[in-house]
Structure 1
């Protein structure tokens, strides 16, 4: 039980954007043609929308192709595990779009 408490505490204190800034270098990523999809849930307090938007800003600053959506839900951090139709539509639309682009090449 104690290990679970330590794990959840570490998750609570983790800041997704703490060590990043807009000047983060993406040159180590070999393929600059990667498309990113960032999804945020309004009730997620572990990875709040503010932090996800910072990631979007960093990707945009580094001229990466990024899509962002914020999904209104009251299911918290675990929203991605539950039946969330808007999440399904967002991911399938993103994947379909990228698949079509690959087919055109």
Structure 2
């Protein structure tokens, strides 16, 4: 794939993460004080933070620290901790797919 594709994809990712960070604001959860539907819908994507950093150089903790803190709060919930993908296993799976399909 062309380098400009990856640059555009990285810009889009950064824009999405900063938008989420702004929407979260200073609240504990997207709905305010209580864990809710939007949190349930978004929290699975936090498992990708490790892969974003390794593959794209996007460090979530530097870019959107409140979003990362929110992710940690969510993961303290047993229901989330039991259901969310392991970021390192997800990264390994992406490596496998890259190798299988020759995407370097």
Taking structure 2 as the reference length, what is the TM-score of the superposition? 0.36
Taking structure 1 as the reference length, what is the TM-score of the superposition? 0.36
Q: Relative to total residues, which structure has the larger helix share, 1 or 2?
A: 2
Q: Relative to total residues, which structure has the larger strand share, 1 or 2?
A: 1
